């Protein structure tokens, strides 16, 4: 009988950890043995894993000894403190906190993008992970969405230029950021003072390209990460894209506006047909457009295409409006990364 995989989720009580827990339970890993771990404040909290109920436990010195996969999905500091402990235990590490992306040998990946690129991926992208790979960082969900869009568009036309304005939600930075946005919203409506521990700025009812100097959130680093991850996924195959990140006063869901200029004129129907593929949901112009609300709980990127000048004639310039559930989409990509690693562990942990 094949041994069941053992999977630890560190940061299981976080927003990302909860979404990851659900994604794993609904995947081919659903029969695995799960260990939920978090910091002291969450100890003993009950959580569902598939049809079972378990509790969140402390990260002990030998916590990862029996684990095949360890997902870090909580605080950055927790990842820094415990990832080497997981590495020494022989577990495959997947870091959703992005802390490890600059460590030697760590790969930033999206199996979906590699699949969409086909043979071109093997020629221009880093190789597959092996037993010497210390960790995998699942690529930022916006970088994955952009790469998927461009991978599909290359079948239709050559992209001359592209620029994206990304609207980022509070949930990307966890429960504290969401709570502060909520408190600011209530405070403004009742003429009270605003808490600013996370943003050091008025985040409610406001669009911002930068936050206050004392902010715990660094929009510049987040923007650089999306740009960096997209470049790693794109290799020499996909076009360059200018990216600007804005804080949006919304609780959940990324959305972005993508301006495209193509080398040759094409009808909008050709772009819609190319984008209508796995992990993409094309919303036609006569229906409700994508939004952070309509994308909530969806596992695909929702996209809408329209000619920049309006009308139905073939053109070289288009707008693409896209929305995605950042936690759901990111967790599903992380699960896909783990499924890629299963070939290194065909019957549980490699001895």
Provide the 3-class DSSP secondary structure of residue 142: helix
Which segment of 51-55, 90-94, 126-130, 180-184 scores lowest on mean pLDDT?
51-55
Q: What pLDDT is recorded for position 51? A: 57
CATH code linked to domain 144-326: 3.30.360.10
Q: What is the DSSP letter of 180?
A: H
For 6-138+331-344, CATH number out of 1.10.10.10, 3.90.1300.10, 3.40.50.720, 1.10.3210.10 equals 3.40.50.720
Q: What pLDDT is recorded for position 342? A: 86
Task: Place 59 in a pLDDT band, splitting at 50, 70 and 90.
Answer: confident
Reported as a single tens digit per residue, the pLDDT across 123-172 is 666 678 887 899 999 999 999 999 999 999 988 999 999 999 999 999 99
Higher per-residue pLDDT: 57 or 273: 273
Task: Place 39 in a pLDDT band, splitting at 50, 70 and 90.
Answer: confident
How far apart are alpha carbons 150 and 311 in whole angstroms? 23
Q: What pLDDT is recorded for position 41? A: 57
Q: Could you tell me the two tokens for 201?
A: 């700025």
Candidates 30, 24, 33, 42; CA nearest to 4 is: 33
Distance of CA 180 to the CA centre of its chain: 22
Q: Is the dihedral of CA 328, 329, 331, 336 positive or negative?
A: positive
Q: What pLDDT is recorded for position 176? A: 94
Q: What backbone phi and psi angles, to 5 degrees, belong to 279?
A: 75, 5
How far apart are alpha carbons 157 and 263 in whole angstroms? 7
Q: What pLDDT is recorded for position 61? A: 87
Residue 330 has pLDDT above 80, yes or no: yes
Q: What pLDDT is recorded for position 132? A: 85
Q: What pLDDT is recorded for position 309? A: 86
Higher per-residue pLDDT: 70 or 56: 70
Beta-ladder partners of 259: 163, 319
How far apart are alpha carbons 249 and 48 in whole angstroms? 31
Q: What pLDDT is recorded for position 207? A: 96
**Whole-prediction pTM value?**
0.93
Q: What pLDDT is recorded for position 1? A: 40
% of the chain beyond a pLDDT of 70: 91
Instruction: Give the alpha-carbon dihedral of 198, 332, 110, 65, to 10 degrees.
Output: 80
Q: What pLDDT is recorded for position 118? A: 84
How far apart are alpha carbons 12 and 24 in whole angstroms? 12
Hey, do 6-138+331-344 and 144-326 end up sharing a CATH topology, with the first three levels equal?
A: no
Sheet strands (E) in 236-347 = 242-247, 254-266, 280-282, 301-307, 315-324
Residue 349 has pLDDT above 90, yes or no: no
Average pLDDT over residues 270-279: 94
Domain boundaries, the chain: 6-138+331-344, 144-326
Q: What pLDDT is recorded for position 351? A: 41
Q: Is the dihedral of CA 311, 314, 319, 320 positive or negative?
A: positive
Q: What is the mean pLDDT of the chain?
A: 91
Q: What pLDDT is recorded for position 313? A: 86
Candidates 57, 61, 60, 53; CA nearest to 43 is: 57
| Rg (the chain; Cα; Å) | 21
% of the chain beyond a pLDDT of 90: 76
Reported as a single tens digit per residue, the pLDDT across 63-114 is 999 999 999 999 999 999 999 999 999 999 999 999 999 999 999 999 999 9
Average pLDDT over residues 237-258: 97
Reported as a single tens digit per residue, the pLDDT across 190-230 is 989 999 999 999 999 999 999 999 999 999 999 999 999 99
């Amino acid at each position: 009988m094949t041994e069941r995989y053992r999977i630890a989720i560190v940061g299981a009580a976080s927003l990302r950890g909860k979404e990851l827990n659900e994604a794993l339970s609904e995947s081919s890993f659903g029969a695995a043995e799960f260990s939920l771990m978090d910091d002291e404040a969450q100890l003993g909290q009950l959580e569902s894993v598939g049809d079972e109920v378990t509790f969140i436990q402390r990260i002990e010195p030998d916590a990862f000894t029996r684990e095949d996969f360890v997902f870090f999905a909580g605080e950055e500091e927790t990842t820094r403190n415990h990832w080497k402990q997981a590495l020494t235990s022989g577990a495959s590490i997947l870091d959703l906190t992005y802390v490890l992306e600059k460590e030697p040998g760590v790969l930033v990946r999206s199996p979906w993008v590699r699949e969409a690129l086909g043979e071109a991926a093997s020629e221009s992208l880093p190789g597959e992970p092996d037993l010497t790979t210390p960790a995998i960082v699942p690529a930022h969900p916006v970088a994955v969405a952009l790469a998927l869009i461009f991978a599909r568009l290359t079948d239709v036309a050559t992209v001359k230029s592209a620029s994206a304005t990304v609207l980022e939600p509070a949930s990307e930075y966890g429960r504290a950021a969401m709570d502060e946005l909520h408190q600011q919203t209530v405070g403004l409506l009742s003429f009270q003072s605003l808490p600013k521990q996370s943003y050091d700025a008025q985040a409610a009812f406001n669009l911002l390209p930068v936050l206050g100097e004392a902010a715990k959130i660094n929009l510049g680093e987040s923007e650089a990460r999306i740009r960096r991850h997209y470049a790693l996924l794109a290799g020499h195959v996909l076009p360059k894209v200018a990216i600007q990140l804005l804080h949006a006063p919304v609780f959940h869901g990324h959305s972005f506006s993508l301006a495209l200029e193509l080398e040759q004129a094409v009808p909008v129907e050709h772009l819609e047909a190319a984008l209508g593929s796995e992990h993409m949901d094309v919303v036609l112009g006569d229906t409700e457009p994508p939004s952070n609300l309509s994308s909530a709980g969806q596992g695909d990127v929702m996209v809408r295409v329209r000619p920049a000048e309006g009308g139905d004639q073939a053109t070289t310039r288009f707008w693409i409006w896209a929305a995605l559930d950042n936690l759901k989409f990111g967790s599903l990509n992380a699960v896909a990364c783990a499924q890629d690693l299963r070939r290194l562990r065909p019957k549980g942990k490699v001895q």
